[in-house]
């Protein structure tokens, strides 16, 4: 049985951590995770999300309320729930709120064909072999391109808000890693009793991954979370903790746990 | 079939609460709506329950055995196929009609309790039985109206149906309560009149009062009064099984477990 969410710092909510880590999709996943954790909605084996009672009690944010309203009277596939919430006006409001708190900045345009700039830069660099003054032009060109089209939506404050955040409970695990991610050896979906078939219904967004990478937070939980792998150990900070082990394992902070699994509500 | 084996306390399996049903303690058997299942493509959850040895009973809602239209044998065959797929000891449907004149009511409509109507029902039930691989149990429905010129009480009507077809009875105590509230029938008289030795199992469900009408919604908590009808039934016979039906507005696992525990307490009180 998964251990419910423990109290956490209140300056940035789990939903906001999800947004700062990987954008609207992750924030929507986090809101859904909170609702499951709070027993407000349940997910079936087929990935159908439905309300536990129809009164809406238990939703604590606008995004959570949006999700609850989606599933109040009929079951909806988990992927659709997340997608709709991610594209909702409530999510836009969350984005604006984060921007007004200077945790994110207005997104600069991103160019899918970023490699065009690389090719031009490479061409300039090769040309600089015969015309060395072109090296300055190359550097200037690449710098301008990076500034104009690079994806760095997080401010220093935003990166600071993510620094030190760990998957100390299963909702934060979703915020940092997503339902499809892993905490140590354990799939995050397992913490909610969701099968891999169900979590794979949640669309993986390249855009979200780019944002996390651009978010920097070098070495922080955020960076590990969005990479999914390659960060070495689990997001749990204590060396003695082990999220991946069987029942009763606990992470370092607040006495909460990311071990267990099962029991979505 | 000499008798129905002890089923215990169960719950209606619904896809929305499949994981809940799987992890709830004390679920001895489940019932599935036959029309929602595809033979050869059973839900993973149902397969898991079968692997655990939990009996799965198909319950139909569309045979319309009380109707004047010919029985749709495709529906009967589907019910039988589901029964075979899940290894069910019996199947069930309702004493009602859901179609007439090419229209589908979307509701379980009560049949007139006349001898003519009983003759039609008996013929349809016999035809269904002949095409089913397992015994058939039939359930009393909740009615918002009584047809005029009824010649038999509901208990007498079902008793004669059992006598003439050898079918089993699925008694819904919530429907008995609803009928008592809405059309003034007497649950005790019903229980006096039906052959309790032909009881297959019992349904329990919740409902809600809207104005002057009590609606058997299956979407609200089970009322204590419904459990009192169950208590009355259990004082007369040990039911082979009692099943909680919930079809919408699903509550938390804890609340469902509490309702099952309350049902079990009533059953166990009389067994002790």
Task: Supply the pLDDT for residue A147.
Answer: 67
H-run or E-run covering B168 = strand B168-172
Q: What is the mean pLDDT of chain A?
A: 75
Task: Supply the pLDDT for residue A242.
Answer: 32
Residue from A1, A36, A38, A50 whose CB has the most chain B CBs within 10 Å, to mutate: A50
Task: Supply the pLDDT for residue B30.
Answer: 98
Per-residue pLDDT averaged across B16-24, rounded?
94
Percentage of chain A exceeding pLDDT 90 = 49
Per-residue pLDDT averaged across A63-67, rounded?
97
Q: Is the pLDDT of residue A6 over 80?
A: no
Question: Residues A182, A183, A187, A188: is their CA dihedral positive or negative?
Answer: negative
User: Nearest CA of chain B to the CA of A57: how many Å?
Assistant: 12
Q: Is the pLDDT of residue A210 over 90?
A: no
The partner residue sitting opposite A264, judged by closest CB among B19, B249, B251, is B19
Could you tell me if B15 lies within 8 Å of chain A, comparing CB atoms?
yes
Whether this model's pTM surpasses 0.90 = no
Chain B residues inside the 8 Å CB shell of A265:
252-253
Q: Is the pLDDT of residue A10 over 60?
A: no
Residue from B14, B15, B19 whose CB has the most chain A CBs within 10 Å, to mutate: B19
Higher pLDDT, B269 or A126: B269
pLDDT band at B271 (very low <50, low <70, confident <90, very high): confident
Per-residue pLDDT averaged across A173-196, rounded?
94
Whole-number Å distance between alpha carbons of B105 and A246: 52
Whole-number Å distance between alpha carbons of B68 and B80: 22
Q: Which of A44-58, B82-96, B115-129, B215-229 has the lowest mean pLDDT?
A: A44-58
Q: Which chain A residue has the Cα nearest residue B17?
A: A44
Per-residue pLDDT averaged across B82-95, rounded?
98
Task: Report which DSSP code applies to B32.
Answer: E
Q: Which of A33-37, A148-152, A207-211, B84-88 has the lowest mean pLDDT?
A: A207-211
The partner residue sitting opposite A45, judged by closest CB among B18, B250, B252, is B18
Q: Is the pLDDT of residue A196 over 50?
A: yes
Q: Which chain A residue has the Cα nearest residue B249?
A: A53
Q: What is the mean pLDDT of chain B?
A: 95
Task: Supply the pLDDT for residue A214.
Answer: 41
Task: Supply the pLDDT for residue A123.
Answer: 85
Q: Is the pLDDT of residue A243 over 50?
A: no
Could you tell me if B44 lies within 8 Å of chain A, comparing CB atoms?
yes
> B72: helix, coil or strand?
coil
Q: Which chain B residue has the Cα nearest residue A49?
A: B16
How many contacts does A have with B, using Cβ atoms within 8 A? Answer: 45
Q: Is the pLDDT of residue A240 over 70?
A: no
Q: Which of these, B186, B246, B242, lies nearest to B216 by C-alpha position? A: B246
Buried-exposed string A156-171: b where 16+ CB fall within 10 A, e elsewhere:
eebbebbeebbbbbbb
User: Is residue B136 within 8 Å of residue B129, measured between CB atoms?
Assistant: yes
Q: What is the pLDDT of residues B130-166, one digit of tens each?
A: 999 999 999 999 999 999 999 999 999 999 999 999 9
Higher pLDDT, A231 or B133: B133
Task: Supply the pLDDT for residue A204.
Answer: 78
Task: Supply the pLDDT for residue A151.
Answer: 55
User: Is residue B230 within 8 Å of residue B266, measured between CB atoms?
Assistant: yes
Q: Which chain B residue has the Cα nearest residue A1?
A: B23
Task: Supply the pLDDT for residue B5.
Answer: 80
Chain B residues inside the 8 Å CB shell of A50:
16, 250
Q: Which of these, B143, B146, B150, lies nearest to B177 by C-alpha position? A: B143
Q: Which of A90-104, A247-261, B182-196, B235-249 has the lowest mean pLDDT?
A: A247-261
Buried-exposed string A46-77: b where 16+ CB fall within 10 A, e elsewhere:
bbbbbbbbeeeebbebbbbbbbbebbbeebbb
pLDDT band at A235 (very low <50, low <70, confident <90, very high): very low
> B105: helix, coil or strand?
strand
Q: Is the pLDDT of residue B1 over 50?
A: no
Task: Supply the pLDDT for residue B221.
Answer: 95
Q: Is the pLDDT of residue B204 over 70?
A: yes
Per-residue pLDDT averaged across A85-96, rounded?
96
């Amino acid at each position: 049985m998964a251990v419910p969410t423990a109290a956490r710092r209140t300056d940035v909510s789990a939903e906001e951590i999800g947004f700062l880590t990987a954008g609207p999709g992750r924030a929507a996943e986090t809101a859904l995770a909170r609702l499951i954790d709070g027993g407000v909605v349940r997910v079936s084996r087929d990935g159908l999300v439905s309300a536990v009672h129809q009164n809406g009690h238990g939703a604590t944010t606008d995004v959570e309320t949006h999700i609850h309203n989606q599933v109040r009277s009929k079951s909806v596939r988990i992927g659709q729930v997340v997608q709709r919430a991610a594209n909702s006006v409530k999510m836009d409001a969350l984005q604006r709120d984060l921007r007004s708190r200077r945790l994110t900045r207005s997104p600069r345009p991103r160019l899918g064909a970023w490699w065009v700039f690389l090719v031009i830069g490479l061409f300039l660099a090769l040309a600089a072999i015969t015309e060395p003054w072109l090296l300055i032009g190359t550097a200037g060109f690449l710098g301008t391109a990076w500034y104009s089209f690079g994806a760095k939506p997080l401010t220093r404050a935003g990166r600071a808000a993510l620094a030190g955040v760990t998957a100390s409970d299963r909702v934060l695990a979703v915020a940092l890693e997503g339902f499809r991610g892993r905490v140590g050896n354990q799939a995050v979906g397992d913490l909610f009793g969701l099968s891999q078939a169900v979590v794979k219904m949640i669309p993986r967004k390249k855009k979200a991954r780019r944002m996390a990478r651009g978010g920097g937070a070098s070495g922080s939980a955020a960076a590990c979370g969005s990479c999914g792998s390659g960060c070495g150990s689990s997001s749990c900070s204590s060396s003695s903790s082990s999220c991946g082990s069987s029942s009763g394992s606990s992470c370092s902070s607040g006495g909460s746990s990311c071990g267990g699994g099962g029991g979505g509500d | 079939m000499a008798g129905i084996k002890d089923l215990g306390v169960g719950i209606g399996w619904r896809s929305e609460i499949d994981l809940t049903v799987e992890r709830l303690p004390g679920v001895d058997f489940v019932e599935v709506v036959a029309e929602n299942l595809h033979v050869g493509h059973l839900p993973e959850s149902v397969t898991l329950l079968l692997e655990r040895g939990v009996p799965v009973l198909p319950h139909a809602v569309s045979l319309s055995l009380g109707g004047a239209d010919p029985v749709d044998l495709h529906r009967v065959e589907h019910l039988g196929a589901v029964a075979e797929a899940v290894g069910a000891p019996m199947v069930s449907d309702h004493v009602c009609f859901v179609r007439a004149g090419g229209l589908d009511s979307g509701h379980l409509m009560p049949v007139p309790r006349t001898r003519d109507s009983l003759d039609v029902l008996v013929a349809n039930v016999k035809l269904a039985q002949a095409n089913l691989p397992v015994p058939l149990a039939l359930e009393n429905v909740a009615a918002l109206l009584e047809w005029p010129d009824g010649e038999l009480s509901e208990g007498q009507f079902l008793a004669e149906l059992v006598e003439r077809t050898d079918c089993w009875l699925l008694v819904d105590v919530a429907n008995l309560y609803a009928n008592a509230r809405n059309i003034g029938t007497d649950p005790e008289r019903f229980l006096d009149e039906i052959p309790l030795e032909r009881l297959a199992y019992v349904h329990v469900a919740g409902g809600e009062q809207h104005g002057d009408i009590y609606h058997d919604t299956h979407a609200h908590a089970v009322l204590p009064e419904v459990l009192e009808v169950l208590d009355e039934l259990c004082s007369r016979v040990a039911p082979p099984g009692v099943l909680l039906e919930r079809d919408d507005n699903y509550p938390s696992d804890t609340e469902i477990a509490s309702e099952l525990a309350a049902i079990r307490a009533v059953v166990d009180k009389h067994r002790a």
